[in-house]
A and B are shown apart, each in its own frame.
Chain A
Amino acid sequence: MHVLALSGSLRTGSHSTELLRLAAAAAPDDVDVVLYEGLKEIPPYDADDDLPGDQPAAVERFKAALAGADAVLVATPEYNHSIPGVLKNALDWASRPILDSPVRNTPVAVLSSSTGMFGGVWAAAETRKVLGALGARVLEETVTVPRAHERLAEGPDDVLAEGLRAVLGALAHEVSLSAEPLLERAV
């Protein structure tokens, strides 16, 4: 399974990016977690530039990376109680046209972290909402890291690694379901 990892924070030493690196390190051998490093090059969304077949090169690269992924793993910080602009901007580009979004039907999980005590849960919830609007298959499984500057500085963390493996396992399960017809259930 090829997992594209998106960090909502661009800064060097980002807790979100570190969380994704830990996910890559914790992943089983058959799961490939690759950090996408081109979000900073994506221009602000402008419908005048959103031309079929003539989109900004950074957008085309981003969409191609999404289209090539079996699943997407997002890690986001929380800016002003919400989703960071850089991440929302990239997702806005990826959302159009809605029936052709490269995220459509793709299993996606969202991780979050913050230096405060709530771990960015509002940003994670809003990111899930946005991804749902794009048509992604959004999972509830997550890892939330409050006081990330302390937790991530503490060195090897088996509990965190186990949580990240569980999220990757949930993504792998969804990818497998997409590959075969679902059994119907009766209520």
Chain B
Amino acid sequence: MSTVAQRTGVPTGTWTVDPVHSSIGFAVKHNTVMTFKGEFGDFDASLVDGRLEGTARVASVQVDDPNLVGHLQTPDFFDAERHPELRFAASSIDVDGGHVTVAGELTIKGTTAPVELEGTISGPVTDGYGNERLGLDLETTVNRHDYGVSWNADLPGGDAMLADDVLLTANLALIQQGSQS
């Protein structure tokens, strides 16, 4: 049985994302009763000497409806033409055991605002290929109107179809550069 040491600091060195085993997603309450989820398939992330940064391409938004994929890229939502990327840049990372708090600035649709992400940090461990691998699972909730993503529609009962709050998630598998044996 292996164990992972409790961490008190942020790993140093350069860590880059393994996109196959990572995901950037969003979830929003839809029709007031259920949670609708989507992902961005094309993204980058890195942790360089404790500084976490990431970008995601709006054109890579993934939901299970091609019409909605098209609509999400329009000015009604993310406006891929004028704002092709979402960006996050951390200003601080605090680690307490397996818990991590990341403060930084999130840019969506051209608007940059401070956010704080909470989650867990796991590892590093040595994977089957000899890489040092680190896990970061982060999330934060933002009000989409703060970023100008304000499309909505009325339901017959008068409620709005889409909630204001959106859960953003980043499940990152990070590989230390130069660690491969």
Contacts and interface: CB of A to CB of B under 8 A. Distances in A.
A109 to B, nearest CB: 13
Nearest to B153: A129
Contacts of A137: 75
A51 interface: no
A177 B81 CA distance: 11
A187 B146 contact: yes
A64 B67 CA distance: 22
A84 interface: no
Interface string B18-40: 00000000000000000000000
Interface string B65-80: 0110111011110000
B180 interface: no
B113 A186 contact: yes
A132 B151 contact: yes
Interface residues of B, number: 21
B111 A187 contact: yes
A185 B112 contact: yes
A31 interface: no
A133 B71 contact: yes
Interface string A176-187: 011001111111
A135 B82 CA distance: 13
A82 interface: no
Interface string A116-151: 000000000000010011111110000000000000
B74 A104 contact: yes
A89 interface: no
A99 interface: yes
12 contacts: A98-B66, A98-B67, A132-B75, A133-B74, A135-B73, A136-B74, A178-B82, A182-B110, A184-B110, A184-B112, A185-B111, A186-B111
